[in-house]
Amino acid sequence: MSTQVPVTVLTGFLGAGKTTLLNRILTEQHGRRYAVIVNEFGEEGIDNDLVVDVDEEVFEMNNGCICCTVRGDLIRILSGLMKRADKLDAIIVETTGLADPAPVAQTFFVDQEVADRTKLDAIVTIVDAVHLELQLDEHHEAEEQIAFADVVLLNKTDLVDPSILNRVEARIKKINPYTKIQRTTSCDLPLDEILGLDAFSLDRITEFEPDFLESDHDHEHDDDITSISLASETALDYDKFEEWFSTLLRTRGQNILRSKGILDFQGMNKRYVFQGVHMLMDGAPMGDWPEGGQRTSKIVFIGRDLESMRLQEGFDACKVA
């Protein structure tokens, strides 16, 4: 009973291929037991015993956290599913086309019962190779869905020229250099490339190797989503970091979509691993640093207006003098 059921969140604009993927999950002989939570106003009704219809309800929490919104319907449905006699192997949550993924992710940080019984496995965003560029220009939600994604399914690749495909992929990478891009023609990839990834686990973050390429700052609008990664080979002071980072999330968390890091604190033999969604973060000491090896603290931010947050300066000030 104490094992947590993994939850995969599926985002993507109308027509990108979410229903195609869901139908595959529901009909393929995979020998696993899934529950699929779909929006009742979704693109087409899926009639199946494994499907639970919900009405996406985004609730603002009354906890003093100004951007803290959660999916109230998910708290209710997940709690109901956990009472079933049949143990589920995974739960898939489909969101509506224009949905902001933050409330879904935040639900797993805010509700203790949800966090005890289930765990956010990964956010998978399906994008349509033909229309993505236009959607990115017109809807900030498209950009947010990519910024949050652990995996981007670049779908309908058969319908565009390779040169356009490369351009689209570069644009995705520019928004979120840490996402894994999978090219597909009709969501045809093995389900284990999407489900059971454990992308949100702190354990998993210790594997991430961000590109330390400086992002390209040309032609950017103020509301463009960018990413910044910082590194330090000097150990950090826990108290200084705690003060800087908590103030940063409290005051600028609305513009920080995701943050992740592995940190070397002075006096701590284990790596301190954390990940955050807007103002909420979850961190713990996890696994020893390799014996005798170089300890490098790494931290990445994906968000808007990151330049103005003087992240490098704040991070540098946390280094042990």
- Minimal distance, residue 92 CB to another protein, in Å: 16
Does 73 sit near another protein (CB under 8 A)?
yes
Local structure of residue 150 (DSSP, 8 states) = S
List 72, 97, 101, 276, residue binding another protein (CB under 8 A): 72
User: Distance (Å, rounded) from C-alpha 101 to C-alpha 95?
Assistant: 8
Stretch of 105-113, 137-145, 188-196, 216-224 contacting another protein, by CB under 8 A:
105-113
Tokens, residue 55: 């009405």
Please say whether the dihedral angle defined by the alpha carbons of residues 98, 101, 106 and 112, taken in this order, is positive or negative.
positive
Stretch of 80-88, 158-166, 230-238, 251-259 contacting another protein, by CB under 8 A:
80-88
Q: Which is nearer to another protein, 51 or 191 (CB)?
A: 51
Q: Would you give the distance in Å from CA 182 to the centre of its chain?
A: 16
Beta carbons of 203 and 286 less than 8 angstroms apart: yes
Rg of the chain on CA atoms, in Å:
20
Beta carbons of 258 and 277 less than 8 angstroms apart: yes
Q: CB-based contacts of 4: which residues, under 8 Å, 6+ apart?
A: 116, 117, 118, 119
Q: Which is nearer to another protein, 47 or 291 (CB)?
A: 47
- Which residues in 125-184 contact another protein (CB under 8 A)? none
Does 1 sit near another protein (CB under 8 A)?
yes
Stretch of 65-73, 139-147, 190-198, 309-317 contacting another protein, by CB under 8 A:
65-73
Does 57 sit near another protein (CB under 8 A)?
yes
Residues of this chain that interact with another protein (CB under 8 A) are 1, 51-53, 55, 57, 59-63, 70, 72-73, 75-76, 80, 82-85, 111-113
